[in-house]
Structure 1
Amino acid sequence: MYRFAVQIVVATLLVLAMGGCSTKSEQEFEKPALYWYQKMMRSVASGNLEKADDYFTSLESEHVGSPLIPVAMQILVQAHMDEEEYLLANFYLDEYLKRYGTSRNRDFAEFMKIKASFLGLKSPERNQELIDETLQKAKRYILRYPESEFAPMVQTMEVRLEMTRYLMNENIASLYMRRDKPKAAEIYRKRNDRSWIDEKEIVPPSKGWLGWLFE
């Protein structure tokens, strides 16, 4: 699970070994790749991810083939996830997969995409489409990478999402019944009939959806 972390540590050590601080200049362009990487790292460390994104753009624009680019992408993925900015994390993951995805790292990158989507479910009852999309990604992942070290974690997320969807369908059906709309309620109960989830094994959320989903 820490294969990418090794690359990040190596690149960070490289920054420190080559001097750490760069000379300030009024002109913020046509700088060495290491200059932009250092700037980005300092911005990440200070929590200014907007500035970090800008410095990454400069690094990418001025040094297309730099080996620091994939490492910088990995750092920004984790930084944005730490700040719960999952859309931006997914953006960098998509770019990483397009440009640097290989048979050795693709399972990790795709796992991180599923994790970002999963953690992005702030209000499951308002994100039914995202739940369905994340479930489909999880199922494909398990079929594609059954031997991956990340497969058990993806399976755990899949089960949590299936239970969440089951409870949501039941809650919607109950609401329709209270409004005297049995036909509409039946639609959602039939969806649960097709699920492999056993309702007896589900403990409904008592402190809100979010905490229950990640317990």
Structure 2
Amino acid sequence: MINKLKFKNVILILSLGFILTACSQKSERAQEYNKPALYWYNKMLKDISTGFLEEADDTYTSLESEHRNSPLIPTALLILANAHIDNEEYQLANFYLDEYIKRFALSKNIDYVRYLKIKANFLGFSYSLREQQLIEDTIKEIEEYRNLFTDSKYMPLVDTMSARLYMAKASLDKEIADLYKRLDKPKAAKYYEEKVKESWVDAKEIEEVEVPLYRSLFEENLF
């Protein structure tokens, strides 16, 4: 019993120390301003390397606010986007990628940035029944990518994601058709069955599994 109390006290002390340290760091951060662009950039890299992505976001805000035209901004945006992709925070990744595309659309590596945006959307799919519009939008982005960057070295990866997306879309349409059949709505079921037929995916190859095919497509590690 005494050992358990000692253990709980140690945990309490450590937790309190962690909270006080975090508050102290936030207080120090709040007092920082008017620093060179390289200072904020290096601080952002340190935040990312130590796993403090939220702090890295705040540090980037300081960099962008104080040095909006710094040549470090494009690189910082890409580093943050990749960090959030690695951390499975795809919406935040897209925020930085959209900002890059808006501000540096004429960049020589814009094909890489557009590829990253497609990749972030692709990896962000969890339950496709809730992501139907995102599938449609990403397929549209892929078609635009093919038109704009025909010679891009990222095209094979984009093509792989495209194939997976079309199969996911066909699987989703089949799931919806089956649902309408169970609800005794033949017109709606036929509409989605026709959508499956219009795709290049053979409906006979879509197997029913406990984990839906359209989910397993995105859970495999392709990159």
- The one of 142, 154, 165 equivalent to 1:161 is 165
- The one of 51, 56, 63 equivalent to 2:60 is 56
- The one of 80, 105, 115 equivalent to 1:76 is 80
Relative to total residues, which structure has the larger helix share, 1 or 2?
2
- TM superposition shift of 1:43: 1.0
Q: Unmatched 5+ residue regions in structure 1?
A: 1-23
Q: C-alpha distance in 1, partners of 2:84/2:67?
A: 23
The root-mean-square deviation of aligned C-alpha atoms, in Å, is 2.0
Q: Is the 8 A contact 1:169 1:188 kept in 2?
A: yes
- TM superposition shift of 1:82: 0.7
Deviations 1:66-121 (A, max 9, x none): 22211111110111111111111111111112222335211111111111111110
- TM superposition shift of 1:193: 2.3
Identity of aligned residues (%): 48
Q: C-alpha distance in 2, partners of 1:41/1:165?
A: 38
TM-score between both structures, scaled by the size of structure 2: 0.79
Q: Which residue of 1 aligns with 2:15?
A: none
- TM superposition shift of 1:48: 1.3
Secondary structure at the aligned position of 2:199 is classed as coil
Q: Please say if 1:196 is aligned against 2:200.
A: yes
Structure 2 counterpart of 1:58, which letter?
S
TM-score between both structures, scaled by the size of structure 1: 0.82
Q: Is the 8 A contact 1:114 1:138 kept in 2?
A: yes
Q: Which residue of 2 aligns with 1:42?
A: 46
Q: C-alpha distance in 2, partners of 1:205/1:135?
A: 24
Deviations 1:102-161 (A, max 9, x none): 352111111111111111101112110101111111111112212111111111111111
Q: Which is higher, the Rg of structure 1 or of structure 2?
A: 2
Q: Which residue of 1 aligns with 2:149?
A: 145
Secondary structure at the aligned position of 1:146 is classed as coil
Q: How many residues align?
A: 192
Q: Which residue of 1 aligns with 2:137?
A: 133
Q: C-alpha distance in 1, partners of 2:201/2:64?
A: 46
Deviations 1:44-76 (A, max 9, x none): 112111111111111111112222211111110
Q: C-alpha distance in 2, partners of 1:199/1:40?
A: 49
